[in-house]
Amino acid sequence: MEKYIRPGVKTTPFCPGCGHGILMNAILRAIDESKMDMKKMLFVSGIGCAAWIPSPHFNGDTLHTLHGRALAFATGAKLYNPDLCVMVISGDGDLSSIGGNHLIHAARRDIDFKVICANNLIYGMTGGQVASTTPKGSKTTTTVEGSPYRPFDLCKLVEAAGATYVARYAVTQPVALINSIKKALLHKGFSFIEVLSPCPTQFGRRNLLDRPEEMIQDLIRRCILQEEVRGLSEEEMAERIITGEFLTCQRSYRCV
Amino acid sequence: MRSTGLKTTFPKGLHYLSGNEAAAEGAIAAGCRFYAGYPITPSSEIMERMALRLSELRGVFIQMEDEISSICAVIGASWAGAKAMTATSGPGFSLMQESIGYAAFTETPCVIIDVQRAGPCTGQATKVGSGDIMQARWGSHGDYQVIALSPWSVQEMYDLTLRAFNLSERYRVPAMVMADEAVGHLRETIRIPEKIEIWDRKKEKGGAPFGTDEEDGVPPMPAFGEGERLLVTGSTHDAFGFRRTDDPEAHAKLVERINQKILKSTRVIVETEDYFLEDSDTALIAYGFTARTSLYVVKRLRKEGARVGLLRLKTLWPFPEEAVAELGRRVKRIFVPEMNQGQVAGEVKKYARCDVISLGQTNGEVIQPGTILEALTKI
């Protein structure tokens, strides 16, 4: 344990039923199975629940930064010391809303980052406000009648911006998730894995999923691998979340 | 921009440069090998020069997507071991403020050059001002200290940028060069000295990166990748970086130390220059480009027999309280010409027990000798 968990860390701060613990486990297993040297790993995070996944828990270098700015801080560290394996772990609000501009530019530059976006569909730490990822119609403390707007498709966003490894899995698909993180660790370039992680405290209880296990069941029911999409009717696809590895390439062509 | 053909720091001797170019050379001489920035008038020549010079020197240059990410990248690079810098002007300086607070609280050495223009807002982008002096001190939330220097010549764009790096490394604090458009675009001959003093952050294996019992309160700073398994956070933290977000004592202790490490060292940090003050009953206090005009006025009035002198502030923050208080005891009145509505005059009033008259001007122009002369001759 001490190889991966910082001495002195006893517990995590996550709520009961939060998916971030599973994600934390998946990340460390992928690092272990890939035989990464924790002394050469830098974990950068922004602000929010997900930003606490690496800081202070992970026993490597950790940089817990400002809200939205994780990728900008990471850019400086990685460019100055390319030997660092830089993993950015943060939430959907942090990476795609306040930090959205840094996200697309880091992807455009194809800097060798392993970005894990823990997507809980809401602002958890601040009390359950609507996020740029909240599904249309979902109730939050700032959309009491349901969110009127469409959410981002984060994977399509970063793919369009120039990412070279893009995947989406839920914490209910742990084996696939670990394998995906391992691929990202090996990939040279901007890797982005969106990880759906349930937030029963702020999202579930306002959206008819009162208990943590209901959120897990809901994710299991809704997540579908992209290979399974073919042949499904529009009705069968409704409310489904497509998961899988969407892109893995080394970009050699020029955009313009 | 034309290549300098140099694979080294700028050679000693005389050179004809603009202020912005000289600032870049001062940074290179100090050991700066990382620059992140975003274009903004009137500071862009610093970035262009750094892009060229860092490619010649195999350093790292990146043009970021905005000023926020620029200062963030600088802080990230600093923790990776770099001496790192950015340069900007008013609007960009405003955007950087949150991160400057982060750098102060995480004790990250970094240098920010603000080539001030006429604000507020977009204001007059190509015109001069010095309206960011208070923002340099109070721009981010909470109580913290920074170091801010004020160059009045192309020579000092070089010297004070170099000094900003040294102070930043020595005290682990963001250091700012509060230049203005007039000094940034001025062209003069400067002398690059043969020997320069260089300070580097201290390192200590296994040392507490955020705690120290030493008198000056500056802990050692290792870099990422050195096996120290650093824990860096902008939340309140203990000596080893663990978050202490509900411990009143931890917060009080940390805030106190990051302030005291600078305030206790004002004798080292603060630099001022006296001109003809020995027998003066009237003094000017000025900084930046305005100090040049002020010195001209003082010399001219001296020829007419007036007992007037100048105190030039080379350091703005921490404020030269002692020099100002001492001057206030010796003279009857102090005039403070500056390209804002009395930002430094307000500080002078806090410490000088004599009449303090603000000669603030905010029209996007440098203050003319006649303007100061007129105010002085009214007495």
Parse chain A into domains and list their residue ranges: 20-248
Looking only at the bridges linking them, the beta strands covering B308-313 and B282-286 are parallel
Task: Specify the pLDDT at position B10.
Answer: 87
Query: Which candidate from B34, B73, B234 shows the least CB-CB separation from A72?
Result: B73
Contact A218, A199 (CB under 8 A): no
Alpha helices by DSSP H, B172-207: 181-185
DSSP B66-104: SHHHHHHHHHHHHHTT--EEEEE-HHHHHHHHHHHHHHH
Task: Report which DSSP code applies to A39.
Answer: G
Q: How far, in whole angstroms, is CA A235 from its chain's centroid?
A: 28
Q: Model confidence over A79-88: pLDDT tens digits?
A: 999 999 999 9
**Within a 10 A sphere around the Cβ of A128, how many other Cβ atoms?**
20
Sign (positive/negative) of CA torsion B311, B313, B316, B322?
Answer: negative
Residues contacting residue A107 through CB under 8 Å, at least 6 positions apart: A158, A161, A162, A163, A190, A192
Question: Token pair of B10, please?
Answer: 């700028």
Q: How far, in whole angstroms, is CA A42 from its chain's centroid?
A: 17
Quick one: closest CA in A to B37, which residue?
A76
Q: Model confidence over A23-46: pLDDT tens digits?
A: 999 999 999 999 999 999 999 999
**Within a 10 A sphere around the Cβ of B111, how many other Cβ atoms?**
32
Q: B64, A75: Cβ pair inside 8 Å?
A: yes
Taking one residue from A and the other from B, the number of pairs with CB-CB distance under 8 angstroms is 125
Task: Specify the pLDDT at position B1.
Answer: 64
Report the gap between the CA of B192 and the closest CA in chain A (Å): 28
Report the gap between the CA of B76 and the closest CA in chain A (Å): 4
Query: Which candidate from A55, A81, A102 shows the least CB-CB separation from B65?
Result: A102
CB contact A168 to B (< 8 Å): no
Q: Report the share of chain B in percent with pLDDT over 90.
A: 94
Residues in A closer than 8 angstroms to B223, CB to CB, are: 81
Residues contacting residue A144 through CB under 8 Å, at least 6 positions apart: none
Q: B229, A59: Cβ pair inside 8 Å?
A: yes
Q: Report the share of chain B in percent with pLDDT over 70.
A: 99
Report the distance separating Cα B122 and Cα B114, nearest Å. 15
Q: What is the CATH code of the structural domain delimited by B13-192?
A: 3.40.50.970
Evaluate if residue B2 carries a pLDDT over 80. Answer: no
Instruction: Choose among A46, A54, A52: nearest CA to A4.
Output: A54
Q: A61, B243: Cβ pair inside 8 Å?
A: no
Q: Model confidence over A46-73: pLDDT tens digits?
A: 999 999 999 999 999 999 999 999 999 9
Q: How confident is the model at residue A256 (pLDDT cuts 50, 70, 90)?
A: very low
Question: Token pair of B113, please?
Answer: 């050059």
**Within a 10 A sphere around the Cβ of A225, how many other Cβ atoms?**
13
Evaluate if residue B235 carries a pLDDT over 80. Answer: yes
Q: Which of A73, A83, A87, A113 to mutate to test the interface with B (most CBs of B within 10 A)?
A: A73
The architecture CATH gives domain B273-377: 3-Layer(aba) Sandwich (3.40)
Report the distance separating Cα A130 and Cα A135, nearest Å. 9
Evaluate if residue A253 carries a pLDDT over 80. Answer: no
CB contact B231 to A (< 8 Å): yes
What are phi and psi for residue B253, nearest 5 degrees? -65, -45
Q: Model confidence over A95-117: pLDDT tens digits?
A: 999 999 999 999 999 999 999 99
Report the distance separating Cα B173 and Cα B170, nearest Å. 8
Report the distance separating Cα B182 and Cα B366, nearest Å. 7
Report the distance separating Cα A167 and Cα A194, nearest Å. 6
What value of ipTM does the predicted structure carry?
0.97
**For helices A20-33 and A174-186, what crossing angle results, to 10°?**
50
Q: B229, A69: Cβ pair inside 8 Å?
A: no
Evaluate if residue A208 carries a pLDDT over 80. Answer: yes
Evaluate if residue B331 carries a pLDDT over 90. Answer: yes
Report the distance separating Cα B177 and Cα B166, nearest Å. 12
Question: Token pair of A126, please?
Answer: 């601040």
Report the distance separating Cα B292 and Cα B150, nearest Å. 12
DSSP SS3 for A4: coil
Report the distance separating Cα A17 and Cα A8, nearest Å. 24
Q: Model confidence over B75-104: pLDDT tens digits?
A: 999 999 999 999 999 999 999 999 999 999
Q: How confident is the model at residue A159 (pLDDT cuts 50, 70, 90)?
A: very high
* Bond from prior residue into A151 cis (ω within 30 degrees of 0): no
Residues contacting residue A218 through CB under 8 Å, at least 6 positions apart: A198, A209
Residues contacting residue B23 through CB under 8 Å, at least 6 positions apart: B46, B87, B113, B151, B157, B158, B161, B177, B179, B184
Contact B335, B291 (CB under 8 A): no
Q: Model confidence over B33-68: pLDDT tens digits?
A: 999 999 999 999 999 999 999 999 999 999 999 999
Domain ranges in chain B with CATH number 3.40.50.920: 273-377
Report the distance separating Cα A151 and Cα A128, nearest Å. 16
- State which amino acid sits at residue A157: L
B289, containing H or E segment: helix B289-303
Strands (E), B186-338: 187-192, 231-233, 272-275, 282-286, 308-313, 315-317, 333-338
Sign (positive/negative) of CA torsion B317, B320, B321, B325?
Answer: negative
Mean pLDDT, to the nearest integer, of A217-233? 95
Place of tokens 């969407």: A246
Mean pLDDT of chain B: 96
Report the distance separating Cα B140 and Cα B137, nearest Å. 8
Alpha helices by DSSP H, B106-223: 133-138, 154-171, 181-185
Q: How confident is the model at residue A252 (pLDDT cuts 50, 70, 90)?
A: low
CB contact A84 to B (< 8 Å): yes
Residues in B closer than 8 angstroms to A38, CB to CB, are: 229
Mean pLDDT, to the nearest integer, of A128-153? 97
B13, containing H or E segment: strand B13-18
Task: Specify the pLDDT at position B166.
Answer: 98
CB contact A74 to B (< 8 Å): yes
Evaluate if residue B254 carries a pLDDT over 70. Answer: yes
Report the distance separating Cα B150 and Cα B314, nearest Å. 5
Contact B339, B129 (CB under 8 A): yes
Place of tokens 């020069």: B49
Q: How confident is the model at residue A1 (pLDDT cuts 50, 70, 90)?
A: confident
Residues in B closer than 8 angstroms to A77, CB to CB, are: 76-77, 79-80, 224
Task: Specify the pLDDT at position B4.
Answer: 78
Longest dimension (CA), chain B: 67
Q: What is the CATH code of the structural domain delimited by A20-248?
A: 3.40.50.970
Evaluate if residue A167 carries a pLDDT over 50. Answer: yes
Phi-psi region of A119 (alpha: psi -120 to 50; beta: other; left: phi over 0): beta
Domain ranges in chain B with CATH number 3.40.50.970: 13-192
In Å, what is the CA distance from B223 to each residue of B84, B92, B108, B201, B216?
A: 13, 28, 11, 10, 21
Exposure on the CB side of residue B10, measured as CA atoms within 13 A: 30
Q: Model confidence over B170-191: pLDDT tens digits?
A: 999 999 999 999 999 999 999 9
Report the distance separating Cα B133 and Cα A151, nearest Å. 42
In Å, what is the CA distance from B77 to each residue of A42, B25, B26?
A: 12, 19, 19
Instruction: Choose among B206, B204, B179, B201: nearest CA to B26.
Output: B179
Mean pLDDT of chain A: 95
